[in-house]
Amino acid sequence: ETGVTQTPRHLVMGMTNKKSLKCEQHLGHNAMYWYKQSAKKPLELMFVYSLEERVENNSVPSRFSPECPNSSHLFLHLHTLQPEDSALYLCASSRTDSDTGELFFGEGSRLTVL
Amino acid sequence: RKEVEQDPGPFNVPEGATVAFNCTYSNSASQSFFWYRQDCRKEPKLLMSVYSSGNEDGRFTAQLNRASQYISLLIRDSKLSDSATYLCVVNSNAGNNRKLIWGLGTSLAVNP
């Protein structure tokens, strides 16, 4: 059983919709991440939060808006997405963002934009 | 040149076989290295870190060659349950997880 849970697991939305992805970690970690995984592309880091403060934003379009209300919860708010945004969105956590390499992932939210 | 490069496979091997994957990286200043495993339609999970001296965990052996800038993963006595995609991950910044560079992965299918 994963210590990081993501909802919804699947999401289909139109380009004009607004939706949110939710991530919750039960591991007592201080760092949380959003990654995008597309077919035939490596994992792309989108955002990093450390102790609820955003510490990394990898040139992600503004139609993706993260929110971290506390160290256990992370959201990704989506609006006016494009079909090319269809992908698996993975949330991860680590004890701190200074840990090198050990990330714990949720099962992902598979997003389809029509 | 890609920052982290892996042979995508697929590698099809019979049960009991020994299989090895290589991964090359372009940044010679990279500090730490990892192998993750991702099952079909599941999330990546850390398989093992790769240490300079090489390390072994049961049937799995990881090695680092800094001079040639590659890491390897050897799986002995393959099991059906080893079928997965193996992701090579390189950290170019020893201080944090923000510079993890992921390979595309190598697909392994172990056949009965």
Handedness of CA B91, B92, B94, B100 (dihedral sign): negative
Instruction: With beta carbons less than 8 A apart as the criterion, state whether B50 and B86 touch.
Output: no
Tens place of pLDDT for every residue, chain A, 114 residues?
A: 569 999 999 999 988 889 999 999 999 999 999 999 999 899 999 999 988 788 777 789 999 999 999 999 999 999 999 999 999 999 999 998 776 678 999 999 999 999
Tell me if chain B has a CB within 8 Å of the CB of A27.
Answer: no
Contact B98 A102 (CB under 8 A): no
Tell me if residue B105 falls in helix, strand or coil: coil
Amino acid (one-letter) located at B30: S
Question: From the CA of B54, how many Å to the nearest CA of chain A?
Answer: 17
Tell me if chain B has a CB within 8 Å of the CB of A59.
Answer: no
Handedness of CA B9, A46, A30, B54 (dihedral sign): positive
Beta strands, E only, B2-53: 4-6, 11-14, 19-25, 32-38, 44-50
Alpha carbons A93 and B43: distance in angstroms, whole number? 13
Pairing of strands B4-6, B11-14: unpaired
Contact B32 A101 (CB under 8 A): yes
Alpha carbons A48 and A56: distance in angstroms, whole number? 5
Instruction: With beta carbons less than 8 A apart as the criterion, state whether B97 and A48 touch.
Output: yes
CB pairs under 8 A between A and B: 60
Instruction: With beta carbons less than 8 A apart as the criterion, state whether B91 and B48 touch.
Output: no
- Report which of A111, A84, A99, A113 is spatially closest to residue A31, judged by C-alpha positions: A99
Contact B97 A48 (CB under 8 A): yes
Contact A101 B91 (CB under 8 A): yes
pLDDT tens, residue by residue, B62-89: 999 999 999 999 999 999 999 999 999 9
Q: Mutate which of B97, B98, B99, B106 to test chain A, going by most A C-beta atoms within 10 A?
A: B97
Instruction: With beta carbons less than 8 A apart as the criterion, state whether B85 and B10 touch.
Output: no
Alpha carbons A17 and A2: distance in angstroms, whole number? 30
Cis peptide bond prior to A8, omega within 30° of 0: yes
pLDDT tens, residue by residue, B1-14: 789 999 888 999 99
Q: If you average pLDDT over residues B19-26, what whole number do you get?
A: 95
